[in-house]
Amino acid sequence: MKNFTSFADAGDYKALLQQALEIKANPYGYQHIGKNKTVGLIFFNPSLRTRLSSVKAAYNLGAQAWVLNAGADSWTLEMADGAVMNGGTQEHIKEAIAVMSQYCDVLGVRTFPTLKDREADYSEEVFNKILKYATVPVISLESATLHPLQSFADLITVAETKQKERVKVVLTWAPHVRALPQCVPNSFCDWFSEVDWVDFVITHPEGYELDPKFTKGARIEYDQKKALEGTDFVQAKNWSSYQDYGQVISNDPSWMLTPEHMDGTNDAKFLHCLPVRRNVEVSDAILDSPNSLVIQEAGNRVFSMQTVLHELLK
């Protein structure tokens, strides 16, 4: 593993998953890997789980960690090549990333999409600059299009919870009050469409189709009830339109998951990456039910990061 930005970087996902389960069973057993190593974490956007689980993962591995809130704690960074920097930006990403690379052995970066310029977002314009200027391995803490640490944590959660060899997993769109990125659902598709013990189905209102590059031919079922029939796991998430880029084209409240939606499932376990808008995306009754795995899922963010750090630092 050279960098960790997508499912493709995971290499042999079964081996990586097995490694994660072993690390979870013995979280302090690999401290020699992180000895005298530093993990740098740069956030251009807010975070609770990614920030704290990444620091905890570094500590578990015997490494040190520093966190920078780019822009807020540092100089305002210029992203454009060839910019005449006579405006509000004070330091170019070129120097900033090259300098910060000298202060760590692996660099995690969070850069959200604009949701305005699909071409710039889907070409990972900003993240690719970071990959270009970094001189150490880079981990995506959520880029413009993907959130691989979240999907890896989701995979760990499903693998350790499932009661049978093959399982059905459904990704369902959920309503929201704001336009959100497609990173989490893109990434969920990027990973779960590849897992050979998962029957994967995506459900959303028409117009919310994700980039086929990530859905990779997975079954799309527009009837949410039909999609949920017999499912073992359901992951709910809002996203804005990919086609009508960044727009909220429907906010149908009937898509909010309630216990009635779970009637036709195989007593499905519930997943959500968090943060979640209660009683907008999902009802209290789902989140507070014994079938909700959201806290366990967030806990597994430590082990997805710790496993990736282990691979990059070993």
Binding residues for N(2)-succinyl-L-ornithine: 142, 176, 237, 277
Min dist. Cβ of residue 250 to ligand CP (A): 24
Report, in Å, the least distance between residue 152 CB and ligand CP: 12
Nearer to ligand CP (CB atom), residue 3 or residue 150:
150
DSSP summary character for residue 289: S
**Min dist. Cβ of residue 273 to ligand CP (A):** 4
Detail the residues annotated as belonging to a binding site.
Answer: 47-50, 75, 110, 142, 147-150, 176, 237, 273-274, 277, 301
Closer CB to ligand CP, 231 or 235, in the complex? 235
Instruction: Compute and round to an integer the Cα radius of gyration of the chain.
Output: 19
C-alpha span between 152 and 269 (Å, rounded): 17
Q: Specify the residue, 168 or 176, whose C-beta has the smaller distance to ligand CP.
A: 176
CB of 148 to ligand CP, least distance (A): 11
- Shorter beta-carbon distance to ligand CP: residue 3 or 151: 151
Q: Which residue has the tokens 């013995």?
A: 26
Give the 3-state secondary structure of 81-110.
Answer: CCCCCCCCCCEEHHHHHHHHHCCCCEEEEE
> Residues marked as binding for carbamoyl phosphate?
47-50, 75, 110, 147-150, 273-274, 301
Q: C-beta of 161: minimal distance to ligand CP in Å?
A: 18
Coil, helix or strand for 121?
A: helix
Of 168 and 174, CB closest to ligand CP:
174
Q: How far is the CB of 158 from ligand CP (least distance, A)?
A: 16
Element (H, E) at 202: strand 198-203
Q: 3-state SS of the chain: helix, strand, coil percent to 5?
A: 40, 15, 45
**Nearest distance, CB of residue 184 and ligand CP, angstroms:** 7
d(CA 270, CA 232): 9
Residue keyed to tokens 């072993």: 22
The conformation of residue 259, written as its DSSP 8-state character, comes to G
Q: Nearer Cβ to ligand CP, position 150 or 186?
A: 150
- Name, in order, each residue with C-beta under 8 angstroms of 15's C-beta and a sequence gap of 6 or more: none
Nearer to ligand CP, 57 or 168 (CB): 57
Check: CB of residue 156 under 8 Å from CB of residue 24: yes
Instruction: List residues near ligand CP by CB under 6 A.
Output: 47-50, 142, 150, 273-275
Cα separation of 219 and 124, whole Å?
26
The one-character DSSP state at 205 is -
Phi and psi at residue 187, in whole multiples of 5°?
A: -70, -40
Q: What amino acid is encoded at 257 in this protein?
A: L
Task: Pick the closest to residue 154 from 38, 304, 306 (CA basis).
Answer: 304
